[in-house]
Amino acid sequence: MNDKGISVLCIDDEEMIRWTIGDYLEDSGYNVFKAEDGKTGLKMFYKTKPDIILVDLMMPEVDGFEVLSKVKEVSPETPVIVISGTGVIQDVIEAIRRGAWDYLTKPIQDLAVLEHVLNKALEKASLIRENENYRKVLEEKVRERTLALEKTNNQLRANLQETVNALSVMTDKRDPYTAGHQKRVGILALSIAKEMGLPSEKIEAISIASLLHDIGKIYVPAEFLSKPTRLEYEEMEVIKKHSFMGYDILININFP
Which residues on adjacent β-strands are paired with residue 103? 82
State which amino acid sits at residue 166: A
Domain ranges of the chain: 7-108, 154-250
| Predicted local confidence at residue 240, as pLDDT | 73
Looking at the predicted structure, is the pLDDT value of residue 176 above 80? no
Q: What is the DSSP letter of 230?
A: P
| Predicted local confidence at residue 111, as pLDDT | 92
Cis check: omega of the bond before 107, within 30 degrees of 0: yes
Tell me the per-residue pLDDT of 241-253, one tens digit each, with 9 for 90 and over.
Answer: 777 776 777 777 7
Tell me the per-residue pLDDT of 183-222, one tens digit each, with 9 for 90 and over.
Answer: 777 778 778 888 888 888 887 877 777 777 777 677 677 6
State which amino acid sits at residue 76: P
| Predicted local confidence at residue 116, as pLDDT | 94
pTM over 0.85: no
| Predicted local confidence at residue 74, as pLDDT | 94
- Is the backbone of residue 29 left (phi > 0), alpha (psi -120 to 50) or beta? left
Q: What is the DSSP letter of 57?
A: S
Q: Any idea which architecture 7-108 has in CATH? A: 3-Layer(aba) Sandwich (3.40)
Fold of the domain spanning 154-250: Hypothetical protein af1432 (1.10.3210)
Looking at the predicted structure, is the pLDDT value of residue 127 above 80? yes
| Predicted local confidence at residue 256, as pLDDT | 60
